[in-house]
Amino acid sequence: MLELLMAGGKAMIPIVILSAFAFAIVCERLWTLRRKSVMPDGLAAEVKSWAQQRRLEPEHVEALERNSPLGAVLAAALRARHLGREAIRERVEDSGRHIMHDLERFLPTLGTIALVSPLAGLLGTVIGMINMFLAILDHGIGDANHLAGGIGEALVCTAAGLVVAIPAYIFHRYFRAKVQDYGIRMEKQVIGLLDHLEAEVPVLAAAKRVAR
């Protein structure tokens, strides 16, 4: 493998650097975008249970906000629950924008790597062809070793650029789709919580009238 990388010449250096960045980003996003980390199972149901038991003290809401991205969105809705549905929607949208930005962290960089890697490979190809023509000028067309060296450098760079770009593009699209799916699911959870809170208000009012 090392000999193959060296055969690509100096143009392989940026490709190797890009591959290292892409690998690090993919590993980090695979860990960060786990479902149990973003949307823990049963969290929305637990928050609804809090609402039924009227356990929505500030310390509960703060703990919910630190729990996960879904918890942060639900906490934003709970903090504005006394301000009306439109105010809640605005708070949730503001919180959601920040959370989506965090979930999409490094994805633009990964997309850039997927775009730039083939260009770096193309640059290596051009350099290899230039070296081949220079070898022809110096040694003539009869020296097959120098010709093979230039062609080999060009092909190795092209292949290396594609090897980096293709997985980077696939993972970029995969992570983008995953983040969008999380966004839709979190929106549904928030709407369900709002409907639950609105349903609780008439029940509490009726309970107060009965108590009187």
Could you list the residue range(s) of the whole structural domain that residue 192 is in? 2-120+165-211
Confirm whether 18 is domain-assigned.
Answer: yes
Confirm whether 132 is domain-assigned.
Answer: no
Give me the tens of pLDDT residue by residue for the chain, a chain 212 residues long. 556 566 666 778 889 999 999 999 999 999 999 999 999 988 888 887 777 766 667 787 888 888 899 989 888 888 877 777 778 788 888 888 999 999 999 999 999 999 999 999 888 888 877 777 776 666 666 555 656 656 767 788 888 899 999 999 999 999 999 999 999 998 888 888 887 777 654 443 443 444 44
Tokens found for residue 159: 């292949």
Confirm whether 147 is domain-assigned.
Answer: no
Question: How far apart (Å, rounded) are the C-alpha atoms in residues 66 and 47?
Answer: 14
Confirm whether 141 is domain-assigned.
Answer: no
Domain count along the chain:
1
Contacts of 73 (CB under 8 A, 6+ apart): 92, 95, 96, 99, 186, 189, 190
Question: How far apart (Å, rounded) are the C-alpha atoms in residues 81 and 201?
Answer: 11
How distant is the alpha carbon of residue 99 from its chain centre? 11
Question: How far apart (Å, rounded) are the C-alpha atoms in residues 70 and 50?
Answer: 16
